[in-house]
C-alpha cells in the first residue's frame, strides 16, 4: 500500500511536506536524522521547517510507513518500513540498515518470556548491530 492510500484511509491529504519527506527517505537505505531529512528537503528545493519534519515523521510512524531506529549515540533515525512485523540490523561502520523478518522466532521467545515472568508483553524493540558485508570487505583489504 502506498502513502496516498494510507493517508486516504485516515481521511488525510498527501501534502507537499509529507511527499518530500517520503521521497527523501526513499532515496537512502540508511536511517536519517530529522535534521538531515530537512537539509535534503532544502537541497531539493522544499523549504520545510524542522518542526514540520518532526510532526510528519510522527504521523508516518503512526501510519506504519516509517520506523524509528535507535542510534548508538542515543539519537533516533528514521527509515521507510515494509508491511508486517520487521526488525532492523544496522552496520556500525557505514550506518546502512536492513529490515529482516524475525516474527516467528520472536513470537516464540516472547511467549516463553511471558510464561517465565508472568508479564504481559505489550511491545518490544529488537535492533541488531553489526558490520555489513561491504564494510567487512573494506576491513579485510586494510589487513
- Total domains in the fold of the chain: 2
Q: Which of 132, 42, 40 is nearest to 93 (CA)?
A: 132
One digit per residue, pLDDT tens: the chain, 143 residues? 578 888 888 889 999 999 999 999 999 878 899 999 999 999 999 999 999 999 999 999 998 889 888 776 667 889 888 766 677 888 888 878 887 776 677 888 889 999 999 999 887 777 788 998 989 988 765 65
Domain of residue 51, residue span: 1-81
Q: What is the CATH number of the domain that holds 113?
A: 3.30.1490.190
Are 70 and 91 within one domain?
no
- What pairing do the DSSP bridges indicate for beta strands 76-80 and 66-70? antiparallel
What is the distance between the alpha carbons of residues 4 and 41, in angstroms, rounded to a whole number? 19
DSSP state of 22: H
Residues 73 and 91 in one domain: no
Q: Are residues 15 and 75 in the same domain?
A: yes
Residue that the C-alpha cell 542515543 belongs to: 74
pTM above 0.75, yes or no: no
The CA-to-CA distance between both ends of the chain, in Å, stands at: 46
The C-alpha torsion from 33 through 9 and 64 to 132, rounded to 10°, is -80
- Where a domain ends, among 39, 63, 81? 81
What does the alpha-carbon distance between residue 71 and residue 92 come to, in Å, rounded to a whole number? Answer: 9
Same domain flag for 32 and 53: yes
Amino acid at each position: 500500500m502506498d502513502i496516498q492510500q494510507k493517508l486516504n484511509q485516515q481521511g488525510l491529504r498527501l501534502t507537499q511536506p509529507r511527499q518530500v519527506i517520503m521521497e527523501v527517505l526513499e532515496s537512502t537505505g540508511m536511517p536519517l536524522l530529522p535534521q538531515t531529512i530537512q537539509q535534503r528537503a532544502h537541497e531539493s528545493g522544499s523549504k520545510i521547517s524542522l518542526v514540520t519534519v518532526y510532526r510528519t515523521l510522527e504521523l508516518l510512524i503512526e501510519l506504519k510507513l516509517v520506523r524509528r531506529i535507535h542510534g548508538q549515540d542515543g539519537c533516533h533515525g528514521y527509515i521507510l518500513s515494509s508491511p508486517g512485523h520487521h526488525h532492523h540490523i544496522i552496520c556500525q561502520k557505514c550506518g546502512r540498515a536492513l529490515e529482516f523478518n524475525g516474527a516467528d522466532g520472536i513470537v516464540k521467545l516472547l511467549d516463553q518470556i511471558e510464561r517465565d515472568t508472568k508479564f504481559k508483553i505489550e511491545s518490544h524493540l529488537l535492533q541488531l548491530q553489526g558490520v555489513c558485508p561491504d564494510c567487512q570487505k573494506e576491513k579485510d583489504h586494510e589487513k
